[in-house]
Amino acid sequence: MKISIKITALFLLIVSFACNNIQKNITSPDGRLKAEIVEINNQLFYSVSINDTLIIEQSPLGIKFENEAFDFTSNLKITQSDVASLRDTLMLFSGKQKKSYNSCNELILQVVNNNGEKMNVVFRAYNDGIAYRYKLSNNKNEIVEDEISGFKIPTGSLAWAMESRIDNEGFYPKQKIDTMKAAIYVMPFLVQTPSNKFILIHEADVMSKYCASSLSGNSGDNIFNINIRYPKFKHTNVNYKETYELVLENERTDIIASPNFSSPWRVIMVGETLKPIVESTLIEALCPAPTQSDVSWIKPGVSVFPWWGNNLANGDTVALKEYIDLASAMNWTFVEFDVSLIGSPSYAIDKWKTTPWVKRIVDYAASKGVSVYGWDERRNLNTPEKRADIFGRYRDLGIKGIKIDFINSTNQEAMAFREACLSDALKYHLLVSFHGDYPPRGERRTYPNLMTQEGIKGSEYYIFNWQPPTPEHNCAVAFTRNVIGSMDYTPVAFSTPNRTTSYAHELALSVVVESGWLVMCDKPEMYLNSPAKELLSKLVSTWDETKFLDGYPGQYFCIARRNNSDWFIAGINAGDERTVEIKTDFLKNDQTVKLYCDGNDAFNSCEVKDVVVSTTKPLSITMAKNGGFAIYISGN
For 587-603, how does the pLDDT look when each residue is reduced to its tens digit (9 = 90+)?
989 999 999 999 999 99
Q: How far apart are CA 547 and CA 511, in angstroms?
A: 12
The DSSP letter of residue 484 is G
381-426 confidence digits (pLDDT tens): 999 999 999 999 999 999 999 999 999 999 999 999 999 999 999 9
Across 192-205, average pLDDT: 98
Q: Terminus-to-terminus CA distance in the chain, angstroms?
A: 59
pLDDT of residue 249: 87
For 34, other C-beta atoms within 10 Å of its C-beta total 18
The answer to whether the CB of 446 falls within 8 A of the CB of 477 is no
Class assignment of domain 11-285? mainly beta
Predicted confidence band at 20 (pLDDT cuts at 50, 70, 90)?
A: low
- Beta strands 129-136 and 11-17 are unpaired
pLDDT of residue 12: 35
Residues in the chain: 636
The long-range contacts involving 389-398, CB below 8 angstroms and separated by at least 24 positions, are 391/424, 391/425, 391/427, 391/428, 391/430, 392/428, 393/353, 394/428, 394/430, 395/428, 395/429, 395/430, 397/358, 397/359, 397/362, 398/359, 398/362, 398/363, 398/366, 398/372
Model confidence at 491: pLDDT above 70: yes
Q: How far apart are CA 526 and CA 545, in angstroms?
A: 29
Dihedral pair phi/psi, residue 591, rounded to 5°: -160, 160
Provide the mean pLDDT of the chain. Answer: 94
pLDDT of residue 292: 85
Q: How far apart are CA 465 and CA 459, in angstroms?
A: 10
pLDDT of residue 553: 98
Residues of the chain with CATH 3.20.20.70: 291-455
Q: How far apart are CA 635 and CA 560, in angstroms?
A: 14
Model confidence at 5: pLDDT above 60: no
Report the candidate in 368, 303, 367 with the shortest Cα–Cα distance to residue 337.
Answer: 303
pLDDT of residue 242: 63
Q: What is the pTM of this model?
A: 0.95
Across 326-341, average pLDDT: 97
Residues of the chain with CATH 2.70.98.10: 11-285
The answer to whether the CB of 288 falls within 8 A of the CB of 444 is no
Which homologous superfamily does the CATH classification assign to the domain defined by 291-455? Aldolase class I (3.20.20.70)
347-393 confidence digits (pLDDT tens): 778 999 999 999 999 999 999 999 999 999 999 999 999 999 999 99
Provide the phi-psi class of 51: left if phi over 0, else alpha when psi is between -120 and 50, else beta.
left
pLDDT of residue 480: 98
Q: How far apart are CA 286 and CA 204, in angstroms?
A: 6
Residue 510: CA atoms inside 13 Å, Cβ hemisphere, count?
31
Question: Under 8 Å CB-to-CB from 186, ≥6 apart: which residues?
Answer: 161, 162, 163, 164, 165, 168, 170, 214, 215, 438, 439
The answer to whether the CB of 598 falls within 8 A of the CB of 578 is no
